[in-house]
Amino acid sequence: MTELPSKATTPVKHDVLIENDVEATMRDGVVLRSTVYRPNARGRFPVLLTRTPYGRDLSVNSGYLNPTTVAAGGFVVIMQDVRGRFGSDGEFVPSENEGPDGYDTVQWAAELPYSTGAVGMWGRSYFAETQWRAAQEKPPALRGIAPGISAGGNARSGGLVRGGAVEFGARLGWGHLSAGPAEIAKLSRTDPALAEREWESWARIDRAMSENTYFDALPLRGLAADAPAFFASPIVESLGFAIDHPSRDLWDGASDRAVDLPTLHIGGWYDIFVNSTLDQYFGQLAHSDSGAAPAPYLIVGPWSHTNFSGLGGSVVFGSPANQAVLDSGQDLSSVHAHWYAAVLGDEEPDLPRVRIFVMGENRWRTYDRFPAPTRTADLFLAPGGSLAAEAAQTDGRADYDYDPADPVPTVGGATMMPGTFAPGALEQSRVESRDDVLVFTGEPLTEPLTVIGRVSATLFASSSAVDTDFVVRLCRVMADGTSITLTDGIVRARYRDSYRTPGAYTSAEPSLLEPGEVYEYAIDLWSTAVMFQPGERIRVQVTSSSHPRWDRNLNTGESAYESDEFVVAHQSVHTGVRHPSRVSLPVVR
């Protein structure tokens, strides 16, 4: 008989049988291995599949979707090591085989003797990429995907590059912590002596990252010296790729096309991939509006890439922010189970289409679609470090010097980095006390102001250099004066013509600056959801670096990957009606 799970929560109905090293043979003969959690009962059950390069038994998976609990509720949960990782055979090349291997695994799972033949996929980060790539191959048994904190489709707008600047810290962190150890461990089976040397190198790098001494090297290509093979190439090597390098297209290929499937998108306001998660949702929404697919579902919490507790950073967002609680007594495991019980049963899920956590209000809001209806409120940078509803009638200017040898440190935000560079809603005094950071602050609010959606900035600036960066950050100033980061963005001056529209990249020839000339820059600060309470203030920071999140601009027009020569840039931010520098906020009506 076929038994569909309950759509209510995830009630325990069955004992669970766990099978290790279950083999699936791919079309080229390579064997991939899985752990299978299934009801210890007669009958057939729908399958929830995830594919990971980080180890199928990694305990962090259980906090996101608990395989034992979900299997007890009437699903077969399969957790597979991707090709070349941990228990699976073959060679691991990031992204390259996830499409065909995903197709083959979905069809294999559908044919298992305890499967109904209906398969859904789930998982976050790289697990999400494996879903998109499998879905693009259109395996007949795949009925839905649930990508969480999902990259793809945004290589040049936050995945690998942001506003023309390289996502330096994230690339090094992923290569060192997530990919490197397993690659070295696998090497130990064929060349133990080389593996031992690689481990020694890995440990040296790990210590330097922990002490925050690793990221200051110039040129960046020097980081490949004495580094483990996988870390040297492709990780360090990729830091020097041009903005139009083909690897960017490989990254985008995961989700640059909508799929004809139900989708559940899960993201975090402080996740490095929140932009791509939302863009994937928007793509599916447009696909749905055309009648080609069901309407997508969306959940966004105050989460970072690896922390779904709601406790990270300098702000506690309350129990409802925790993935284990949410707003309805459901955790993310039960949300997945509830949604898939309907989707795999060809029914409409009885869940809100959009569920987002509004920081400051510290509660979840539901909508039929995202973004919520809003009006754009412009706040203009004004003389004396203030923010105003209208641009000043007279011209103004605020100056600072940017020295690449003493960059502004990364403190919080939507990041994913090793060492002590934590993501999230972090207090900003260490940043705002610096001479190379301009701070513009509004008056205390007299009533609540809710901002939900994409934030952008328009900056009129000049520089003494032929190339430089500009960083804009939106902060929430609490009633006690504590400044908390919300969201930020960067533009590299020579790529300004490629980033004229927030959230979009257009291929254009790089163009150096004429020193002293005023240029207009569009800076995408990504999206957020926050309620500013009475007595709180809105703050905007302007500076030229966030190290080591983004690679430093040397102010010479040369790449930090190739050069160690730099100059100090004198920067001027211009204000007034002729140069209306401003931040644009989507305010809920």
As annotated, the active-site residues are 125, 271, 305
Return the structure tokens found at 24.
């699936």
Q: Measure the CA dihedral 152/158/164/168, to 10°.
A: -100
Q: d(Cα 92, Cα 110) in Å, to the nearest integer?
A: 25
What are the residue ranges of helices labelled H in 20-78?
Answer: 60-64, 67-72
Q: How many residues does the chain have?
A: 589
**Residues 581, 399: Cα–Cα separation, whole Å:** 14
Q: What is the dihedral angle through the alpha carbons of 109, 115, 118, 124, rounded to the nearest 10 degrees?
A: -50
CA distance 561 to 236: 9
In angstroms, the Cα distances linking 203 to 199, 213, 229, 239 are 6, 14, 14, 21
What DSSP state is assigned to residue 327? T
Structure tokens given for 278: 């939302």
Calpha distance 338→327 (Å, rounded): 15
Evaluate the omega torsion of the peptide bond into residue 548 and state whether it is cis, within 30 degrees of 0: yes
3-class secondary-structure state, position 346? coil
Alpha-carbon dihedral 236, 238, 239, 245, rounded to 10 degrees: 170
As a whole number of angstroms, the distance between CA 380 and CA 134 comes to 46
309: its two tokens: 């507790």
Q: Please state the φ and ψ torsions of residue 303, each to the nearest 5 degrees.
A: -105, 160
* Residue in the block written with tokens 């004495």: 226
CB 74 within 8 A of CB 147: no
Alpha carbon distance 65, 58 (integer Å): 12
The DSSP bridge pattern shows strands 297-304 and 264-270 to be parallel
CA-closest candidate to residue 160, choices 562, 556, 551, 557: 551
Question: What does the alpha-carbon distance between residue 253 and residue 179 come to, in Å, rounded to a whole number?
Answer: 21
314 CB-contact burial (10 Å; exposed 0-12 / middle 13-18 / buried 19+): middle
Pairing mode of beta strands 76-81, 45-52: parallel
